[in-house]
Homo-oligomer: A and B are copies of this chain.
Amino acid sequence: MLALSKSIGTVETQYYTLEEDLELETGNVIKTPTIAYETYGTLNDQKSNAIYVCHALTGDAHAAGWHDGDKKPGWWNIIIGPGKPLDTNKYFIVCSNVIGSCKGTTGPSDINPDTGKEYGLDFPIVTIQDMVNAEKKLMDYLGIQQLYAVIGGSMGGMQVLQWTLSYPEMIRNAIMIASGAYSTPQQIAFNAVERQSVIADPNWNKGAYYESDQKPEQGLSVARMIGHITYLSNESMYEKFGRRLQNKNSFSYDFSNEFEVESYLEHQGFSFTKKFDANSYLYLTKALDYFDVRKNNSLEEGLKPIRAKMLIMSITSDWLYTHEHMEEIVLALRANNVEVTYSKLNSEYGHDAFLIENGQMNYIISNFLSKATVKDVMNKNVVTLQDNKSVRDAAELMLTKNRTHIPIVDSENKIIGIITAWDLSKAIAKNTDNIEEIMTKDVLTCYEDDSIYDVAHKMEEHHISGLPVINKNQQVIGNISTTHLSNLLDLE
């Protein structure tokens, strides 16, 4: 048992430039884009413990830990780290900046190789699916063929859903927080007004402002102020600001900022313009608008491909991505017989609660991930030996397949015993080639729906390092070892 420190420590953003072009949903391409990403924790030998974290509208690859010299950690440090629900002692966490953004991954503020100038509006429209496809390229590059989980809130939640649809076999667990299966007209309306505010700024100059000293800061600032209001609840704003005045005891009765909430928003809007590209803001809000995974107007039909186990989390005071909408997703998943857990985060913080409520999130997410079953981690590459074979056959199989345990099955493939490397030494001592004489007939097995926790305890109790996984007909369908588990569980 490791002593757990709660921080990852210093981290660095890495960059991966695709060797090929990224093909987009629209048929357009982005030439050999670069993807900014960070990783925390260690990828296990089976490469089965990776969790991909999807960020929201204005987020970046820096999800956790500290950049050298920074005063604040990554944006989701509250749930990522040793001993936290996205436990870097167990999991290998990957987060990358979405395509179209401006935080290291290629977007409209980057140089268009065709012109040698910033893309601006020559950057193609990107969708949530394009983001996920770019993230998939990164997973390929990292050699990750299966994600133990994918998780995200808001626009991150949309990517989560898209992951489970675009690459259903690749995702074991998916956690979608305060998000949606399609953008509603209210969400589109806010996005449209925010874009309108940027576009109305004369400094925007049809997106070609990169070489000018005058950036569309006024427009982007108003856009961010609007967005910011929608991320807070009425209650939390009252808690935070009330009707307190800004550095004064009585009204000025003029058009200066009278109230603290005005100054706060203005500051948020202005400082945002220093860290985010106006064109990226246009492109990413467009991607939100287009998102709709329904098919033939049916959410149930749209969600049919999903194979992952799902955790859907809504926030009680979120009026932009409502719990009613999240419940619609839960119902559609249940109609499709997807295993889904639904949790309401009780919070007054509004939409932003998924960046704040660490206590409840820790509890809900940890519970969900620890509900993982044998199926989530077992090795499906089955190696068995017929009971009419010899000890020598068993030894050869162990050598060629690199196994220490070989289940022995009858003619119907039902398990009747197990033979281990240690059993081979018994055969040598007894000088027998008969498997029946040396195999263990009282075999411990498990089912694919067993809880990982239960199976881990079973192995620990019996001091064994592996178990065959069988189906209801006693047939072997896989195996699970403590090596699989040790990467996933904090065994006490």
Contacts and interface: CB of A to CB of B under 8 A. Distances in A.
A282 B183 CA distance: 32
A422 interface: no
Specify which of A124, A183, A188 lies most central, judged by the most chain B CB atoms within 10 Å of its CB. Answer: A188
Contacts of A182: 243
Given A218-B200, A222-B197, A189 B229 contact: yes
A185 B400 CA distance: 71
B125 A185 contact: no
A226 interface: yes
Contact of A229 (B183, B193, B197, B219): B193
Contacts of A255: 121, 195, 199, 282, 286
Interface string A442-458: 00000000000000000
B186 A200 contact: no
Given A125-B254, A195-B255, A188 B262 contact: yes
Nearest to A282: B255
Interface in A76-125: 121, 124-125
Contacts of A234: 184, 186, 319, 322
Interface residues of A, number: 55
A289 interface: yes
A26 B258 CA distance: 15
A451 B186 CA distance: 46
A219 B193 contact: no
Contacts of A322: 234
A176 interface: no
Interface in A249-270: 251, 253-255, 257-259, 261-262, 265-266, 269
A201 B202 CA distance: 9
Interface in A184-236: 184-186, 188-190, 192-193, 195-197, 199-202, 218-219, 221-222, 225-226, 229, 232, 234
A186 B222 contact: no
Nearest to A225: B193
B261 A185 contact: yes
Contacts of A141: none
A242 interface: yes
A238 interface: yes
Given A243-B182, A292-B243, A261 B188 contact: yes
A112 B410 CA distance: 102
B197 A241 contact: no
Nearest to A350: B186
A219 B223 CA distance: 12
B121 A229 contact: no
A321 to B, nearest CB: 10
6 contacts: A121-B255, A183-B243, A186-B234, A188-B243, A188-B262, A200-B222
